[in-house]
Amino acid sequence: MKPDLKKAGLEGLADAAGFVLGALAGWKLGAALGYDFINTPGWGMPQIIGLLMIMAGCGAGRWLFRRLLA
C-alpha cells in the first residue's frame, strides 16, 4: 500500500501550525490574566499556571487545526 504523502504533509503542517499558534495564544491569554510564564523570573504558582495555559493552548490549537483539515 502506497502512503498518501499529500495527506501526511498536510497533517504535519496542521500539527505544527496548531502547536505554535496555540502556544502563542495560550501565552498571550495567560499574560493578559497575570500568569506570564515567559517574562517573569522564578517558579511560583503564577508561572506554573502560565505554563499550563501554554500547554493547553498547544493541545487546543492542534485539535482545532486538525478539525479544520478534516
Report how far Cα 66 is from the mean position of its chain's Cα atoms. 13
Report how far Cα 6 is from the mean position of its chain's Cα atoms. 23
Provide the 8-state DSSP code for 32. Answer: H
Single-letter amino acid code for the residue at 48: I
Average the pLDDT over 24-49 and give the result.
92
What are the domain boundaries of the chain?
5-69
> Looking at the whole model, is its pTM more than 0.85?
no
Task: List all residues 6 or more positions away from 41 whose beta carbon is below 8 Å from its beta carbon.
Answer: none
pLDDT digits (tens, 9 = 90+) for 35-45: 998 888 889 99
Whether 65 and 14 have beta carbons less than 8 Å apart is answered as yes
